[in-house]
A and B are shown apart, each in its own frame.
Chain A
C-alpha cells in the first residue's frame, strides 16, 4: 500500500531515501521512474529539465537513455548525493542546480524537449504547482513533453479509505520526527490541463495512489 507521508522524513536523511522509497511504494517507484524516463527521453539527445531530482534516480535513467539533463533541487544534501551517483556518467551530460522549482522561470523559452517531476509536486502548495507548471510550459518547446509522477488521491472510495488508513499513522509519525508531511494531489492531470497541457496518458498504480501523467505542450 502506498503512502508517501514519510517522504519528508526520508528526505531529511538522503542516505536512507532510496531504500525507504522502495519499501513505501512496494517497489513500484522503479517502474514509475522508468515510465517517466521513457516518455521524456524517447531517443538520445533529448534536452530534459528535471524538477526536484532528489537522489538522482530518475536523472540516472535519463542520462542512461542519452538525454542531457538539467536537474534542479533545493535540498543541498540531495544534490550532493545525486552528483555522487552520476559522477561517473560519460559523457557528462548532466548539470545540477541547487535552486527552488520557483526559479525555473530563469530558463530561456522553449529550451527543453521534456520536463520531468517525480514525487516533487506534492511537496509544493497548489499555488506553487500552478506557477511551476506555467513556467514548465514556457521552458518547453512546442510539442515538448511533461512527464510527472506523484502521490494522488484515488478516485474509488474504497482506495481513498485505504489511503487514509495507511497514511494516517505514518503521517503522524512523520510529523513528529521530520516536522512535516507531503499531501497527495487530488487532480494531477487536471492541474496540468489547467496550465494548458494536453494530456497524452494517465496511469495509476498501487491502489490508484501513485499517478503518472504524460502530457505535452501544444504546437
Chain B
C-alpha cells in the first residue's frame, strides 16, 4: 500500500514535469469499485495522469470509466486541439464494451471536453446520451450524489496558486533540462545559475506576471535583467557572465511569456489575430437551452429565466475557448473578428487549436487550396 502510494506519487511528479509530452493510457473500459448495470458511466481522456486522478477521486464509489483515445493528452488540451472530439468519444463508447455492461445509455463527460466533443452528435451517432459533468475530477462524487446537478463552483476553472505552480513546473522541467544539457557540453560553470534562472522566472511569470506586472513584457525583462545582473556581480562573475546574464534572462522571459498565454486560462491566444475576437450572441436564435452557460469555464453567461434566453454578462472574462459556440444547437453564438466579420460556428467546430493556442484555420484553408492546384 505504502509502496503503491509512493509509486503513484513518483508518477504524478514525472507526468507533471513532462506534461507537455503525451502519456497515453490504454483506451477502453475500467471498473471503479464494484459497478453494476445501473452504475454511472464516466468518460475521460487517455492521459495517464487524468485516468489515475479520476480513479482516485472516485475510489469510494462504484462506476464504469470509459477511457477514450485522446493521444495521451489531457482533456482540455486534447479537446481544444482536436485529439478528443466526437469521433473519439463515439469510438470509445462503442468499442469499449460498456454497452453490454449497463442497462442505461447515459454517460458523463468532463466539462472541459466541450470545446471538442459535440454532445448532440455523440447522441445521434452512438445512441448514448452524454452530459458534461464537473470541470474537476474531485467534484465527480458530489455531482453524482446531487443527482447529476452541477453547482456553479463545479463549472468554473480555477487558476490559483497550486495550478499556477503546476504550470511553472511543467514549463521549467523540460526547459531547464534542455538548457542543462547544452551548458554541460559548452560551459559547465553556468549550469547551476542558468537552471536557477529558468525556475525563478518560470515561477515568477506563472504566479505574478499578470497580477503584479500587468503582463508588461518590458517591465518583466528589465526586472529580470537587473536581478540576474546583480546576482552575477555578487557571485563574482566575469565580463562574459555579466553580459550573458541579462541577455539570457530576457530571452527566457520572452519564451515564457510567449508560451504562457497558450497554456493558462488567463487569456486565450494573445499573440494571434484571435486575441481580438469576441463572443457575440444572436438573441433571436437563442432558445434558452443554456448549454453555453453549462459549459462556460469562466462564467461569462447569465441565464434569464423570465425571457428564456441567455445573456453574455461578462464578455471580459471570455478566453475564447469556443465551448459555448461548439455546443449551441441553434448557432446563436459565434465569434466576431476584426472589422465585425463573423467566424462561423462550423469553423470553430472543425478547426482546432495548435500548441500555441492558435486556430489552424488558415493552415487548413491553405492545404485545401494547395490540393485544388495539384
Q: Is A179 part of the binding interface, using a Cβ–Cβ cutoff of 8 Å?
A: yes
A180 near B367: Cβ-Cβ < 8 Å = no
B261 within 8 A of A: no
- Verify if B69 is at the interface (C-beta below 8 Å from A): yes
A74 to B85 alpha-carbon distance, docked (Å): 11
How many residues on chain B are close to A (CB under 8 Å)? 29
Q: A80 to B87, alpha carbons, bound, how many Å?
A: 17
Query: Per-residue 0/1 for A7-26: is the Cβ within 8 Å of any B Cβ (1 yes, 0 no)?
Result: 01000011100000000000
Is B368's beta carbon under 8 Å from chain A? yes
> A77 touching B364 by the CB < 8 A rule?
yes
Q: How far is the CA of A80 from the CA of B95 in the complex (A)?
A: 26
Q: Do the beta carbons of A175 and B28 come within 8 Å of each other?
A: no
B97 to A76, Cβ gap below 8 A? no
Stretch at the interface among A88-96, A97-105, A160-168: A97-105
Of B18-26, B134-142, B184-192, B294-302, the one touching chain A: B18-26
Task: Give Cα A74–Cα B72 distance, bound, in whole angstroms.
Answer: 18
A15-B367, A80-B368, A179-B73 known; A100 and B24 CB under 8 Å? no
Closest chain-B Cβ to A57's Cβ sits at a distance in Å of: 14
Q: How many of chain A's residues have a CB under 8 angstroms from any CB in B? A: 28
Whether the Cβ atoms of A100 and B91 lie closer than 8 Å is: yes
Are A100 and B97 touching (Cβ within 8 A)?
no
- Verify B24–A127 contact, CB threshold 8 A: no
Given known pairs A102-B94, A127-B95, the reply for A180 and B27 (CB within 8 Å) is no
- Is B94 a contact of A105 with CB atoms below 8 Å? yes
Q: How far is the CA of A126 from the CA of B125 in the complex (A)?
A: 22
Contacts of B96 in A (CB 8 A): 127
Once the chains bind, are A125 and B21 in contact (CB under 8 Å)? Answer: no
- Report if A204 contacts B (CB, 8 A): no
Query: A175-B21, A179-B71 are contacts. A128–B372 as well, Cβ < 8 Å?
Result: no
Rounded to whole Å, the gap between the CB of A54 and the closest CB of chain B is 14
User: How far apart are the CA atoms of A15 and B95 in the complex, in Å?
Assistant: 30
* In the assembled complex, B370 has its CB within 8 A of some CB on chain A: yes
- B window 335-355: CB within 8 A of A: 350
Enumerate chain B residues within 8 angstroms of A127, measured Cβ to Cβ.
Answer: 27-29, 95-97
Known contacts A125-B27, A179-B71; A80 and B94 CB within 8 A of each other: no
Contact A77 B367 (CB under 8 A): yes
A206 an interface residue at 8 Å Cβ cutoff?
no
A residues in contact with B262, CB < 8 Å: none
With an 8 A cutoff between CB atoms, is A65 at the interface?
Answer: no
Question: B370's contact among A15, A176, A179, A180, by CB below 8 Å, is which?
Answer: A15
| A101 cross-chain contacts in B, Cβ below 8 A | 91
Closest Cβ neighbor of B364 among chain A residues: A77
In the complex, given contacts A102-B91, A131-B95, what are 13 additional A-B residue pairs having Cβ atoms less than 8 angstroms apart? A76-B350, A99-B87, A100-B91, A103-B90, A103-B94, A124-B69, A125-B69, A130-B95, A131-B94, A175-B22, A179-B71, A180-B73, A180-B83
Ordered nearest first, which 9 A-B pairs have the shortest CB separation? A180-B71, A131-B95, A102-B91, A125-B27, A102-B94, A74-B87, A128-B95, A127-B28, A100-B87
Which residues of B approach A to under 8 Å, CB–CB? 21-22, 24, 26-29, 69, 71-73, 81, 83, 87-88, 90-91, 94-97, 125, 350, 364, 367-368, 370-372
Question: Can you list 19 A-B contacts with CB-CB less than 8 angstroms, sorted by A residue number?
Answer: A13-B367, A15-B367, A77-B364, A84-B372, A100-B90, A101-B91, A102-B90, A102-B94, A102-B95, A124-B69, A127-B29, A127-B96, A128-B27, A128-B91, A131-B94, A175-B21, A179-B22, A179-B83, A180-B72
Which residues from chain A sit less than 8 Å from chain B, CB to CB? 8, 13-15, 74, 76-77, 80-81, 84, 99-103, 105, 124-128, 130-132, 175-176, 179-180
